[in-house]
Amino acid sequence: MLRLGLLIAALISSTSFASAQPAAPPGPLSTAAERVYELAKPRILQIRSLLQSTGRQSSLGSGFLVTPEGFAITNYHVVSQYALDPKTYRLEFLAPDGSKGGLALLAFDVAHDLAVVKVDRKDLPFFEFDPRALHDNLPKGERIYAMGNPLDLGFTIVEGTYNGLVDKSYDERIHFSGAINPGMSGGPVAGGDGRIVGVNVAKRLDGENVGFLVPAKFAAELIARARSGPPLVVDKAREEVGRQLNGWQASFYNTLRDQGFRSSSFGPYRGLESAAPWMTCWGSTNADAIPKPRTSVNSTRCSSATGIFVSDRILTGRVDLSYSYFKSVDLNAFQFSKELSQRSWGFDALGNKRLTEQECRDDFVAGGTGSRPPLRATWCMRAYREFEGLYNVTLLALTQDRDREALLAQLSMQGVSYANAEALGRKFLEAIQWQQ
């Protein structure tokens, strides 16, 4: 797959960012954009992944200089091919003035989709971060400018609106109302004074002009880490990716636990539901189906909507929790169990060889004390071949106390450690109860 990403530089002012002084009211819009672009021009880069063997580009993105020693910020996904396979790929930058040069990968942050690269030149002009952005202190509605090279058509500046952080999202992302297109990934987004507010990262395909930026504070943190931390050994970058994914899931499942759970009712049963605001739930029913269904089905599916891009082949980091309450309308017990057999399929992504083949274990699990029904449960898991200690896990459970009604519950976790998967799995099974 060819990934296009073009870096657009935001306007930078190399003078100090005395933020006590409110930014001068922008002039007519076109003037502001012109000025931002003029400032950005020597500070933005196109970042290319090239095949070592042929020197052809295999992916393009954008980046921007942020320190005098030539450190530039881009997206992790712009350099992921090189990070995971430095023997096959190399990195190169292209500046708007046509100059080219090599790039060294210094650090990356897979979870926030950021990377730091260093250009082999010194004393270049660079962007500064907007101190207001570092403290999430920008007013909604402020005009900001995204830059990059969309679809490899040439460097572009796009006016848009800062719309605060995205609601109901585990990852902090700035909602940018403006057109972001492939190729602009890793490009800077600056305010009217040319200081960095965020980094282009993604857009929604099912909406118009709904773009997302990585907040500038994460870029600033990563730069600090790149300066002070031990240097990245590129040949060991894959292990670093594994460490970061492990770290990410550890803090994600901690947060999930800290946010708490509640017991929700599904027909006469109860099941686990996360209280985290970023677990979004959707319901569905077959009540209005024609012809009238012989089994009524009411389903709820809650998803964390977290997705971590590791490589073209690996997207991970998601949790799904779904419940379907089945009640026979006029099926007998055998027909009803047949209906359940046809519905009890987990969402397993087969054939991805970055994961091992799936292993499953089945059993009848006692409900234990209280009002817990016995369960028929299946645990299935696959391991990530490239990252030790990470798994995709699917846990299915079906209540076994009635023969013409049942709750089918499913928990699926991507990129989770075994300990976290088991802990949440136990909680999930215990929470399946009969309505008091």
In whole angstroms, the minimum distance from the beta carbon of 324 to other proteins comes to 12
In whole angstroms, the minimum distance from the beta carbon of 147 to other proteins comes to 30
In whole angstroms, the minimum distance from the beta carbon of 210 to other proteins comes to 23
Of 135 and 294, the one with the shorter C-beta distance to other proteins is: 294
In whole angstroms, the minimum distance from the beta carbon of 243 to other proteins comes to 17
Those residues with Cβ within 8 angstroms of residue 194's Cβ, 6 or more apart along the chain or in another chain? 10, 11, 12, 13, 35, 36, 39, 40, 127
Provide the sign of the torsion angle of the four alpha carbons 263, 392, 417, 235, taken in this order.
Answer: negative
d(CA 108, CA 234): 11
Q: How many CB atoms lie within 10 A of CB 361?
A: 9
Of 123 and 357, the one with the shorter C-beta distance to other proteins is: 357
Of 119 and 396, the one with the shorter C-beta distance to other proteins is: 396
Of 323 and 391, the one with the shorter C-beta distance to other proteins is: 391
What are the residues binding other proteins (CB under 8 A)? 291, 294-295, 312-315, 331-342, 344-354, 356-368, 374, 376-385, 388, 391, 394, 396, 398, 400-403, 418, 422, 425-426, 429-430
In whole angstroms, the minimum distance from the beta carbon of 275 to other proteins comes to 23
Host H or E run for residue 104? strand 100-109
Of 240 and 422, the one with the shorter C-beta distance to other proteins is: 422
Of 51 and 366, the one with the shorter C-beta distance to other proteins is: 366
Those residues with Cβ within 8 angstroms of residue 298's Cβ, 6 or more apart along the chain or in another chain? 266, 267, 283, 284, 285, 287, 324, 325
Is the bond leading into 291 cis (omega within 30 degrees of zero)?
yes
Q: What is the DSSP letter of 230?
A: P
Of 126 and 336, the one with the shorter C-beta distance to other proteins is: 336
Q: How many CB atoms lie within 10 A of CB 405?
A: 17
In whole angstroms, the minimum distance from the beta carbon of 55 to other proteins comes to 24
In whole angstroms, the minimum distance from the beta carbon of 348 to other proteins comes to 4
- How is 140-202 classified by DSSP, letter by letter? TT-EEEEEE-GGGS--EEEEEEEEEEPTT-SS--EEEES---TB-TT-EEE-TTS-EEEEEEE
Of 29 and 333, the one with the shorter C-beta distance to other proteins is: 333
Of 163 and 249, the one with the shorter C-beta distance to other proteins is: 249
Give me the residue label for tokens 């054939």.
Answer: 351
Q: Is 272 helix (H, G, I), strand (E, B) or coil?
A: strand
In 3D space, the residue among 63, 127, 125 whose CA is nearest the CA of residue 91 turns out to be 63
In whole angstroms, the minimum distance from the beta carbon of 221 to other proteins comes to 30
In 3D space, the residue among 5, 286, 23 whose CA is nearest the CA of residue 138 turns out to be 23
In whole angstroms, the minimum distance from the beta carbon of 185 to other proteins comes to 18
